[in-house]
Amino acid sequence: MSILDLSALQLAKKLQAKEISVPEATGVMLKALKNAAPLNVAVNLCEEQALARAQAVQKRLDAGEISSPLAGVPMAIKDNICTKGIPTTCGSKMLENFRPPYEATVADKLTQADTILCAKLNMDEFAMGSTTETSYFGQVKNPWDTSRVPGGSSGGSAAAVAAGAAWFTLGSDTGGSIRQPASFCGVTGIKPTYGRVSRYGLVAYGSSLDQIGPLARTAEDAAAVLDIISGYDPADSTSLNQPAGGFLAGLKDSVKGLKVGIPREYFGEGLEEDVKAAVLGAAKKLESMGAIVEEFSLPMTQYAIPTYYIIASAEASSNLSRYDGIKYGYRPDQSEDLLDLYLKARSQGFGTEVKRRIMLGAFVLSSGYYDAYYKKALQAKALIKKAFDQSFEKYDVILSPAAPTAALKLGESLDDPLKMYLGDIYTVSVNLAGLPALVAPCGFTAGGLPIGMQLIGRPLEEGVLLSAAHAFQQATDYHTKKPGEVAK
């Protein structure tokens, strides 16, 4: 058995017990990432820095100076999270050689907790996509079936864990970008409550929607990572005044009395039979474990996608206007004047999907259309939040699929962007309402592809979600399966 088969917490225990050294574990992960090169999960490996850090952390361990639950564990983070001096590309030609002059708060917190950064992970360009096919650095492949997508935009983060090349990773989620890849890759991921984790150093896509979160093989590991990365940050004015941590310590392993609501609007047309069966099967399992499971009506479901794409594109068009070829990023060799410089830098530096969303955003914010689109979407957002608030008066947790299908084939999604957007139906409303949501494996298709269930919670109730998933994972073994192990 390889140490890569351990959970992150199990590895940390072995490191504490000196059964294995930090440099050894780091070497194992770097080697696994190199072996996973055909999957293209990493944009850059941080080999030298990782091995140097590993030596330093080992010294501290030997001196008995550290004991945090994940000390010494190597990890990797999505390439839209700024790491000082280390290329942070956002999967884009625009930032191919960008080395941030500062460190994202979450990256710093992971360093303070003595984990070891090994790689920056591949992603859809500027986090815009659901398949990780739009990266300037090439598509990522799903370890379960390399003819299929890992999901997106945190495809590298999910695939690295699923491929057994990382104990845990960080991704980001604006409309489902942690949760949907977690579902497609059979791993556990959580998008925290908006404001729970600092966005300082996360390259902005949709600032009112973005959140960073962990991906791992167990809810327990995800809780341990969330302990490290959460907490109030004065550098992020949307950061909630909540202390870090408490999630691992607060994990319960029972769902007795947990009130689970299943929105009937989520189980209609368009949902693949295998996925429906797996998620409803998980509901039955939770019921047998003592949860009270009930179907209910969640209004506003059909308005989630238009609302999301209006708001996200509008914010993206504003956030990406900083890329002008002047301060950093791609700059064309020749240009006639300032305007020409802007046009060439942006048209040559950005890919098609990014340009599409910037234009959509410019449109919905433009004079004459602002009220009909952007303002209208913000009103719809208020109604969506209200619908969830009302649901949480009756239920502790809302259970749903994470996506209407399992992983799609490579090359089939980008030609019909609207169809691709419709796949986000279960995830986007969660970002609009600022709620926490977790995805964990709950079954497989007949063809052996992973299926995830989504648990949505009240604001700040990540603990409820993590406990429910942890209890589910004590009673089932979907999360333990690896690519190649599931009979078709």
Partner 1 sequence: MEITDELIMYVAALARLELSSEEEKRAKKDLGDIISYINMLNELDTSGIEPLSHTFDIKNVFREDAVKPSADRDSLLANAPAKHEGCYKVPKTVE
- 37 forms part of the interface with partner 1 (CB under 8 A): no
Rounded-to-integer distance, Cα 190 and Cα 184, Å: 14
Residue 240 makes contact with partner 1 by CB under 8 A:
yes
Nearer to partner 1, 60 or 355 (CB): 355
The answer to whether residue 205 forms part of the interface with partner 1 (CB under 8 A) is: no
Give whichever of 28 and 414 is closer to partner 1, judged by the CB atom.
414
Contact status: 327 vs partner 1 (CB under 8 A): yes
401 scored as a contact of partner 1 (CB under 8 A): no
Per annotation, catalytic residue among 78, 93, 109, 191:
78
C-alpha dihedral (347, 78, 47, 24), degrees to nearest 10:
-170
φ, ψ dihedrals at 442, nearest 5°: -140, 10
Closest contact distance (angstroms) between CB of 99 and partner 1 is 6
Nearer to partner 1, 206 or 483 (CB): 206
By the rule CB under 8 A, 317 interacts with partner 1? yes
Distance CA 402, CA 456 (A): 10
x/- letters, 71..110, toward partner 1 (CB under 8 A): --------------------------xxx-xx--------
Minimum CB distance to partner 1 smaller for 34 or for 386:
386
268 binds partner 1 (CB under 8 A): no
Q: Which of 153, 157, 317, 400 is catalytic?
A: 153
Binding mask 328-347 for partner 1 (x = CB under 8 A): xxxx---x-xxx-xxxx-xx
78 is catalytic: yes
**Tokens 């300032």 map to which residue?**
338
Contact positions with partner 1 (CB under 8 A) in 143-202: 194-195
Using the minimum distance from each CB to partner 1, give the nearer residue, 289 or 428.
Answer: 428
Q: Is 254 designated active site?
A: no
Are 237 and 198 within 8 A, CB to CB? Answer: no
Q: Which is nearer to partner 1, 221 or 353 (CB)?
A: 353
Annotation marks residue 321 as catalytic: no
Q: Which stretch binds partner 1 (CB under 8 A): 135-143, 163-171, 230-238, 252-260?
A: 230-238
Judge residue 58's burial from the number of C-beta atoms within 10 Å of its C-beta, 0-12 exposed, 13-18 middle, 19 or more buried. buried
C-alpha neighbours within 13 Å on the C-beta side of residue 199: 22
The least distance separating partner 1 from the CB of residue 340, rounded to whole angstroms, comes to 8
Total interface residues for partner 1 by CB under 8 A: 70
Q: Is 482 in the site for partner 1 (CB under 8 A)?
A: no
Site string for partner 1, 425-454 (x = CB under 8 A): -------xxx--------------------
Q: How far is the CB of 127 from partner 1 (least distance, A)?
A: 18
Contacts with partner 1, residue ranges (CB under 8 A): 97-99, 101-102, 194-195, 208, 234, 237-238, 240, 302-303, 305-307, 309-310, 317, 321, 324-331, 335, 337-339, 341-344, 346-347, 350, 352, 355-356, 358-364, 366, 372-373, 375-383, 385, 417-418, 421, 432-434, 459
Residues carrying an active site annotation? 78, 153, 177
